[in-house]
Amino acid sequence: MDFPPFCPYCQSRDVVPRATGLKIFGAIGIVVGAAGAFKASLKALQVLQSGSVALPGIALTGIASAVLTAMSASALGCEIGTKAGAQLDRMLLGNRFCRSCKRSFIYL
Ligand SMILES: [Zn+2]
């Protein structure tokens, strides 16, 4: 029961899935996530500098945790951005594109 959708405008079966918004908003998500990661890294560095005694081992641990925080923050930002982008794409642009009449529509 998985028929390909047909176009509600011209009844054509020449319909392709589209995901234009996905990449754009996913990229925005990465940027937002990276910005958050940069902040987190700065905070970690401030903690490092405020310490009166910084042994190489401790400093390395601080930097490693800052890097890990940065990586996870950008991954999280990307995931949220991609999900929001997919939702926006469905709401505003439609997720199917008719190649006969060049219109997009929503098919669930
Ligand atoms: Zn059409």
Domains identified in the chain, total number: 1
Per-residue DSSP letter, 10: T
CB of 90 closer than 8 Å to CB of 106: yes
The rounded Å distance from CA 18 to ligand 1 centre is 14
Query: Domain span at residue 24?
Result: 15-105
Helices 56-88, 20-50: axis angle to 10 degrees equals 160
Neighbours of ion ligand 1 (CB under 5 A): 7, 9-10, 12, 98, 100-101
Instruction: Let me know if residue 33 belongs to a domain.
Output: yes
Instruction: Let me know if residue 44 belongs to a domain.
Output: yes
Instruction: Let me know if residue 4 belongs to a domain.
Output: no
Cβ-Cβ contacts under 8 Å for 51 (sequence gap 6 or more): 58
pTM of the model: 0.39
Per-residue DSSP letter, 5: P
Digits of tens for pLDDT over the chain (108 positions)?
355 578 999 999 999 887 655 566 666 666 766 676 667 666 766 665 655 445 556 566 777 777 777 777 777 776 777 777 677 766 666 778 899 998 888 877
Instruction: Let me know if residue 61 belongs to a domain.
Output: yes
The rounded Å distance from CA 6 to ligand 1 centre is 8
The rounded Å distance from CA 91 to ligand 1 centre is 19
The rounded Å distance from CA 15 to ligand 1 centre is 8
